[in-house]
Structure 1
Amino acid sequence: MSRGKAAAHRAPYGHQKLRDREPRAGVRYKCALLNTIADVLQQRPGWVEAKEDGEWDFYWCDVTWLRENFDHIYMDEHVRICHYRNHYELTRKNYMVKNLKRFRKHLERESGRPEAAKCDFFPKTFDLPSEYHLFVEEFRRSPGITWIMKPVARSQGRGIFLFRKLKDIMDWKKDAARSDETKDEIPVENYVAQRYIENPYLIGGRKFDLRVYVLVTSYVPLRAWLYRDGFARFSNTRFTLSSIDDQYIHLTNVAVQKTAPDYDPEKGCKWMIQQLRQFLTARHGPEAVTALFQNMDNIFIKSLQSVQKVIINDKHCFELYGYDILLDEDLKPWLLEVNASPSLTASSQEDYELKYRLLEDTLHVVDMEGRLSGKEKRVGGFDLMWNDGPVSRPDGQHDTLGSGFFVANTHLGCVNDRQKQLRQLLKSGPAKKP
């Protein structure tokens, strides 16, 4: 087994601890990150950091370690790591779109157009440079609209720009052609060209997107959990299409917004998703908001199903995804991207507490201590929404909106009374595995 010692680090914000009962001792962990997850692991009762030359049971690794080491180590039955080997099938922007397009065609063949239409939640997208000519055809069919270019493997808004004229990307195109002709040069970076959502839902005149967390503990069968907490990330500047070069208007990434000259670190640029749900309910009514969140449930499940047959399932692996969702003015949710390494660095005390709870509950679901029976529909702030099929809500609620989507066992943006739920769940002691 790969060995090494993760550096210790204390985050600038306080933490919350659950100490309902002492778990089984002796879980040895490693951690490659120096943020909130390091605090959660250090504070978890009975868990100890693996010594530099010691073996580990649990590793919160980064994707670089995964790429370099996964094929070269032996892992015992109980060992867990936080990524699937080819997680990029969903989390690289071009692969995600490729898999969604393929899955949509499959649904249309097998179940017809109405079922395939449930995958119409991502903007028209082209993989460049390979689909450049297809993109140009589409571009010329709809002159004057705004497009956005995104590097396929970068994060935090780096390398993104908007454009309306082909000449605005000709320099990039020339670099691509030059790279193809010169074999010994570094290939040009792949991008996706995506139709920009020109009518985003605005609050206070500002654009925002949602960060939502989905935990997958198995792809065969597919087993996915949705976290009740999340947040909306707002731009720092009022929205307008008259200026497409201002990143503070169009990019909601916190890494971008916190560099704005008038950014207020005390105020920040986030709403908790409970606050957003209450706001939308007051403005549009509960039925419209219920339909919106059902449509978001559909995005999570269909996107995971689109990669279910290509992800290399491994019993040692789990994945905590960060979904980025944009709402338009008609309350339609659009999938922007899925992150395999969502930021775990806190931007405020409230943000730290959210991420601490999220990571603590992730460890509860992964269950290194063997305290769960495997039949739970809820663990802390996580609700089981798919277990080789849709998971019904405990109250047996049915779809009253006629949307045709299943009503998942999800409570995104609802009260997260996780401490109470965990006390009830864990009070009886370790569960006996069947």
Structure 2
Amino acid sequence: DGEDWTLYLTDLSVSLEHLVDMKIDQICHGSIKSTTFMLAHNMNRMLKHFPKEYNIFPETWCLPAERVCDYSDFQAYSRGKNQKTYICKPDTGCKPGQHMICQDYIFRPFLIDGFKFDLRIYGLVTLIDSLQVFLYEDGLAHCCTNQYCYPKHSNMHDVCMHLTNYAINNNRENFVRFDNAGKMKCDTVKLWADIEDVVIKALISAQYLLCHNYHFCFPWHAVNPAGACFELLAFDVMLDHRVKPWLLEVNHSPSFTTDSWLDREVKDELLYDTLVLVNLGACDRQKASEVERCHIQKRLQPASKKGQYREKSSCIFACSM
């Protein structure tokens, strides 16, 4: 509460009014969000223009389709296969019957001792204009609790075999928390490079929209070298039998609950490094106050038409950058 703060850390939605009222020396987390529906739409748009480069996520449809041709594409894709299985998930905060994401099922995933799993990779976005991203080298693996076999009518309701979600599997009797790091028998250097490629391309797909929102909320952000906001994202990635990473979704509010020693080890260090990289020391409150005071005085002073034109032109130039 109040205005005397430097860092605002939240995993809840931040109102537009709150963002616009932020001071130049303040930094906010959780301000620029991209819903699952929005991400899928942007990724599909990039896939049409760059089919080879954006073959990094399963075939995905936004339902109900906004355009007739989108639904026709989904129907044509389904008719062209003898047997198809899909995973449907709701958009962020949506109600039943509203927007959902329908995603092609990965039939041949990479398995650990016969169990399906996905990787949670943490990424920190500190700048959106020049897209400055940091990937955390430690992550978590979410495993199913039932051994995997190909989906068919008889096992379709076995969610603990098909879905890797922690919230689904952690209450099972055979759920085990592994507190040790693990290694896979594969080229991990190449795998990590492929994961980096997936993360960067996913962010690029939404960059133009995020830049627009960012400059609308923070038109004078350049005064603060640290930027006005940052996002700590969780990228859920699944590997197929060829150890190729596929992006399943991006979480803008990942859970930092710690249920085990490994959870605490990974997440505590992650949050510590985040606060270091956000560079709170660059928030010069005195300098920011002086700049803000000068800006207010400029706006209060009557200006000639020529002066008004120059001020308006510089503002447009700053936003376009």
Per the TM superposition, whether the score is higher than 0.5 is yes
- 1:197 maps to which of 99, 106, 117: 106
Greater RCO between the two (CA within 8 Å, min separation 6)?
2
- Show CA shifts across 1:119-148 (max 9, x none): 101001111111434322211111312111
- The residue number in structure 1 matching 2:137 is 228
- The residue number in structure 1 matching 2:128 is 219
- The residue number in structure 2 matching 1:128 is 63
- Output aligned runs, 1:68-217, within 5 Å: 69-71=17-19, 73-85=20-32, 87-88=33-34, 92-106=35-49, 108=50, 116-130=51-65, 131-153=70-92, 188-217=97-126
- 2:159 maps to which of 240, 243, 247: 247
- Output aligned runs, 1:292-303, within 5 Å: 292-303=191-202
CA distance in 2, matches of 1:63, 1:337: 18
CA shift, 1:316, in A, is 1.0
CA shift, 1:319, in A, is 0.3
SS at match of 2:138: strand
CA distance in 1, matches of 2:93, 2:169: 17
CA shift, 1:104, in A, is 3.3
SS at match of 1:238: coil
Unpaired stretches in structure 2, ≥5 consecutive residues: 219-226, 284-321
Say whether 1:268 aligns with 2:216: no
- The residue number in structure 1 matching 2:237 is 325
CA distance in 2, matches of 1:211, 1:129: 28
- Paired residues, number: 263
- The residue number in structure 1 matching 2:189 is 290
TM-score by length of 1: 0.57
CA shift, 1:358, in A, is 0.3
SS at match of 1:118: coil
CA distance in 2, matches of 1:325, 1:187: 26
SS at match of 2:208: coil
For residue 25 of structure 2, what is the amino acid of its counterpart? H
Shift in CA distance, 344/244, structure 1 to aligned 2, threshold 3 Å: same
For residue 233 of structure 1, what is the amino acid of its counterpart? H
- Output aligned runs, 1:398-413, within 5 Å: none
User: Is this contact kept in 1: 2:180–2:262, CA < 8 A?
Assistant: no
**Aligned CA-pair RMSD:** 2.2
CA shift, 1:198, in A, is 0.7
Shift in CA distance, 141/67, structure 1 to aligned 2, threshold 3 Å: farther
CA shift, 1:56, in A, is 1.7
CA shift, 1:258, in A, is 1.1
Unpaired stretches in structure 1, ≥5 consecutive residues: 4-52, 109-115, 156-185, 372-434
User: Is this contact kept in 2: 1:200–1:328, CA < 8 A?
Assistant: yes
CA shift, 1:336, in A, is 0.2
Shift in CA distance, 74/317, structure 1 to aligned 2, threshold 3 Å: same
Shift in CA distance, 105/206, structure 1 to aligned 2, threshold 3 Å: same
Say whether 1:369 aligns with 2:268: no
- The residue number in structure 2 matching 1:355 is 267
CA shift, 1:236, in A, is 0.9
Higher helix share: 2
CA shift, 1:190, in A, is 1.3
- 2:10 maps to which of 58, 61, 65: 61
CA distance in 2, matches of 1:339, 1:245: 25
Say whether 1:306 aligns with 2:205: yes
SS at match of 1:369: helix
SS at match of 2:203: helix
Shift in CA distance, 270/124, structure 1 to aligned 2, threshold 3 Å: farther
CA distance in 2, matches of 1:296, 1:211: 11
For residue 80 of structure 1, what is the amino acid of its counterpart? I
SS at match of 1:207: strand
For residue 103 of structure 2, what is the amino acid of its counterpart? Q
CA distance in 1, matches of 2:112, 2:77: 31
SS at match of 1:360: helix
- 2:254 maps to which of 338, 342, 346: 342
